[in-house]
């Protein structure tokens, strides 16, 4: 059924509200996601600055801090409870509200229909709802700073008993309840989004778009959604029980304990249970981030190396293996918890095993770069930075995945350094790469290349300078989630280290201002992307105008004849071949179907 031109033309003479606020167009929803998630990133970054300030100069009072946080920093020094709230919210919003939502709700939402040649998601209204629930989750989470006792303070892993008993820490009052509600909303939002991504990818592909012709970005978001679909609900169940423990007096997680010298008579609960449930999602969460990131990077690397991706099928198989393995390794976060040693061994083995598909993909990407005609654009720089970070982080992971070495390293700064390299930074790089790469498509203008290159180098150096020394500190015994190294005699040797790290960390955070400026400047003043396919890429999203019209395509949906990475074929004049280019000898009739 063809869409008539008048339809497309008058389709969107609707009110501003219908068009930009309560829109069901996946492109508008994706843009809303992108803005909201970046806003959360900004807040998370500011919280990181506070953390770094505290760890570097926590012994010195600062009148400015007191002015900013009259309650959290009386006398100019951040209070311990406030510090705990800061790291908790920092971790939570950057992992969930920023990175997860940016990759799936933001770019995934934008790209899936365009890359598979569909007109929209399968269920646009659900897609819109998903965004609004997500927004509610963000608002609720931020409000928790304002309630009595402050925001949740039990860490982003919210282990009981800290998170159950209101007297355990200041943030375990209303703040913790709000944290749980916000997470429940976020889980619902991800599930609603995930339903659409999975069903759309499977059912709405245009003619000729076989699974083995899907771009890696779409594959990545697809697998991430599958992982989320089977792991988030378990956390939801766990979170509901935690809420009941807090408010209905059940004791799923609370054993009989003394808190502050007071006997708390809760009988028979098992705090380890929560650890299992949390990490049953918590570990796959890393792959919910890593797999789409790998997907985006694959698209970008192929385009800017002007080469077909090496081992496309192998990469997909690796995705599948990672998807499965990622769901059965969660125990490696619990090696020191008194976990049954037999399952500890199994978890350890499986964890090491997962480096095989991961390594395979990285090797495939390296082989794609090999002898390519590499164009060092900003997105490509970030993509290469991503590969570098993933390799570095992976090396650290080997030590943490091995039960025997983890006993020593657990809960030290080594862990913080490790997951900031492998998750925080690498995924951040993928998000930046994706932003620079797809910006012209989404907004019809380019981001500035020169600012972008500055941004890249400062971020790249900043990340290594901030997070690698943390590994060293961890090996030397610096604990994690320590309020202040200044307060402990045995940590004095790390005070200078913390200061240097803080300097680099603040430079790193400051460098992101370049990105903010670039983003908004380019939005209004950037060079116009008159060519719909400026990077000369093959995937379908580049074959429609920038920004794409409502319902994505003109009268006819595109028809696909080839894979997504046919670059530099010897038999073609151009060095790229869009997926909808018909083979020679195929008559393309009026409706685009042969």
Name which of Cu ion, other proteins, ligand HEM, none residue 231 binds, using a CB cut-off of 5 to 8 Å depending on partner kind: other proteins
Q: Compute the distance between CA of residue 84 and CA of residue 82 in angstroms, rounded to an integer.
A: 5
> Which residues lie below 8 Å from residue 486, measured CB to CB, with a gap of 6+?
58, 59, 492, 495
Q: How far is CA 105 from CA 35, 112, 370, 420, 444, in A?
A: 11, 10, 33, 22, 20
One residue of 349, 376, 572, 588 binding other proteins per CB under 8 A? 572
Name which of Cu ion, other proteins, ligand HEM, none residue 88 binds, using a CB cut-off of 5 to 8 Å depending on partner kind: ligand HEM
Widest Cα–Cα separation across the chain: 84
Question: Closer to Cu ion at the Cβ: 29 or 288?
Answer: 288
Question: Closer to ligand HEM at the Cβ: 319 or 419?
Answer: 419
Question: Closer to ligand HEM at the Cβ: 448 or 459?
Answer: 459
**Min CB(136)–ligand HEM separation in Å:** 21
Residues 154-173 that bind ligand HEM (CB under 6 A): 155-156
Helix (H, G, I), strand (E, B) or coil at 528: strand
Name which of Cu ion, other proteins, ligand HEM, none residue 3 binds, using a CB cut-off of 5 to 8 Å depending on partner kind: other proteins
Q: Compute the distance between CA of residue 140 and CA of residue 178 in angstroms, rounded to an integer.
A: 7
- The answer to whether 99 contacts other proteins (rule: CB under 8 A) is no
Q: Which class for 594: exposed (0-12), middle (13-18), buried (19 or more C-beta within 10 A)?
A: middle
Q: Which stretch binds other proteins (CB under 8 A): 239-247, 301-309, 391-399, 480-488?
A: 239-247
- The answer to whether 510 contacts other proteins (rule: CB under 8 A) is no
Question: Closer to other proteins at the Cβ: 287 or 515?
Answer: 287
- The answer to whether 283 contacts Cu ion (rule: CB under 5 A) is yes
Q: How far is CA 548 from the centre of its chain?
A: 25
> Which residues lie below 8 Å from residue 46, measured CB to CB, with a gap of 6+?
509
Q: Compute the distance between CA of residue 173 and CA of residue 182 in angstroms, rounded to an integer.
A: 15
Q: Which residue intervals of 370-423 are DSSP H helices?
A: 378-401, 403-409, 413-419
Q: Which class for 263: exposed (0-12), middle (13-18), buried (19 or more C-beta within 10 A)?
A: exposed
Q: Compute the distance between CA of residue 382 and CA of residue 386 in angstroms, rounded to an integer.
A: 6
| Token representation of residue 330 | 């969660």
- In this structure, are residues 301 and 380 in contact, taking their beta carbons and an 8 Å threshold? yes
One residue of 23, 32, 36, 88 binding ligand HEM per CB under 6 A? 88
Residues 191-230 that bind other proteins (CB under 8 A): 191, 194-196, 198-200, 202-213, 226, 229-230
Name which of Cu ion, other proteins, ligand HEM, none residue 403 binds, using a CB cut-off of 5 to 8 Å depending on partner kind: none
> Which residues lie below 8 Å from residue 133, measured CB to CB, with a gap of 6+?
185, 186, 188, 189, 192
One residue of 332, 418, 420, 441 binding ligand HEM per CB under 6 A? 420
Q: Compute the distance between CA of residue 38 and CA of residue 43 in angstroms, rounded to an integer.
A: 9
Residues 260-299 that bind other proteins (CB under 8 A): 266-268, 270, 272-273, 276-277, 280
- The answer to whether 51 contacts ligand HEM (rule: CB under 6 A) is yes
Name which of ligand HEM, other proteins, Cu ion, none residue 283 binds, using a CB cut-off of 5 to 8 Å depending on partner kind: Cu ion
- In this structure, are residues 61 and 75 in contact, taking their beta carbons and an 8 Å threshold? yes
**Min CB(249)–other proteins separation in Å:** 4
Residues 467-496 that bind ligand HEM (CB under 6 A): 480-481
One residue of 150, 292, 505, 526 binding ligand HEM per CB under 6 A? 505
The contact set with ligand HEM (CB under 6 A) reads 48, 51-52, 87-88, 90-91, 94-95, 98-99, 155-156, 416, 420, 424, 428, 466, 480-481, 505, 508-509
The contact set with Cu ion (CB under 5 A) reads 283
């Amino acid at each position: 059924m063809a869409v008539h031109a008048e339809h497309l033309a008058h389709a969107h003479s609707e009110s501003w509200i219908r068009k930009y606020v309560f829109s069901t167009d996946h492109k508008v929803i994706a843009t809303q996601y992108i803005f909201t998630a970046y806003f959360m990133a900004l807040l998370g970054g500011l919280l990181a600055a506070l953390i770094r300030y505290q760890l570097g100069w926590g012994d010195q009072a600062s009148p400015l801090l007191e002015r900013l946080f009259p309650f959290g920093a009386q006398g100019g020094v951040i209070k311990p409870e406030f510090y705990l709230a800061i790291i908790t919210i920092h971790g939570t919003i950057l992992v969930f509200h920023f990175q997860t939502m940016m990759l799936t709700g933001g770019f995934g939402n934008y790209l899936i229909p365009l890359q598979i040649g569909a007109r929209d998601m399968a269920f646009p209204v659900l897609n819109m709802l998903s965004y609004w629930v997500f927004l509610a989750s963000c608002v609720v989470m931020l409000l928790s700073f304002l309630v009595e006792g402050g925001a949740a303070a039990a860490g982003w892993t919210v282990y009981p008993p800290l998170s159950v008993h209101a007297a355990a820490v200041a943030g375990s009052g209303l703040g913790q309840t709000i944290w749980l509600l916000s997470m429940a909303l976020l889980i619902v939002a991800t599930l609603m989004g995930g339903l659409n991504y999975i069903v759309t990818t499977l059912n709405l592909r245009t003619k000729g778009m076989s699974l083995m012709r899907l771009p890696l970005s779409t594959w990545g978001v697809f697998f991430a959604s599958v992982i989320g679909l089977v792991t988030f609900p378990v956390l939801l169940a766990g979170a509901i029980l935690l809420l009941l423990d807090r408010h209905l007096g059940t004791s799923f997680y609370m054993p009989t304990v003394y808190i502050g010298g007071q006997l708390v008579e809760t009988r028979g609960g098992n705090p380890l249970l929560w650890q299992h449930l949390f990490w049953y999602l918590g570990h796959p969460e890393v792959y919910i981030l890593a797999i789409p990131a790998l997907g985006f990077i694959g698209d970008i690397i192929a385009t800017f190396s002007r080469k077909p991706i090496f081992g496309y099928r192998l990469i997909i198989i690796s995705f599948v293996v990672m998807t499965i393995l990622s769901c059965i390794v969660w125990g490696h976060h619990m090696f020191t918890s008194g976990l049954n040693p037999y399952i500890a061994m199994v978890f350890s083995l499986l964890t090491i095993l997962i480096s095989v598909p991961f390594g395979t993909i990285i090797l495939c990407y390296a082989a794609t770069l090999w002898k390519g005609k590499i164009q060092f654009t900003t997105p490509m720089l970030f993509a290469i930075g991503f590969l570098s970070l993933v390799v570095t982080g992976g090396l650290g992971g080997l030590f943490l995945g091995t039960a025997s070495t983890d006993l020593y390293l657990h809960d030290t700064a080594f862990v913080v350094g490790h997951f900031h390299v492998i998750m925080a930074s690498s995924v951040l790089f993928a998000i930046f790469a994706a932003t620079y790469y797809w910006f012209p498509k989404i907004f019809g203008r380019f981001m500035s290349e020169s600012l972008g290159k500055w941004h890249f180098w400062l971020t790249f150096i900043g990340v290594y300078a901030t997070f690698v020394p943390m590994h060293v500190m961890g090996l030397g015994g610096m604990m994690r989630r320590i309020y202040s190294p200044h307060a402990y005699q045995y940590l004095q040797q790390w005070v200078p280290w913390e200061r240097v790290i803080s300097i680099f960390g603040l430079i790193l955070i400051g460098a992101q201002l370049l990105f903010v400026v670039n983003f908004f400047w380019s939005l209004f003043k950037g060079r116009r992307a008159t060519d719909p396919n400026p990077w000369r890429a093959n995937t379908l999203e580049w074959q429609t105008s920038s920004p794409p019209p409502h319902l994505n395509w003109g009268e006819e949906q595109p028809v696909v004849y080839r894979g997504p990475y046919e670059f530099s074929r010897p038999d073609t004049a151009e060095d790229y071949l869009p997926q909808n280019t018909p083979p020679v000898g195929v008559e393309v009739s009026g409706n685009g179907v042969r």
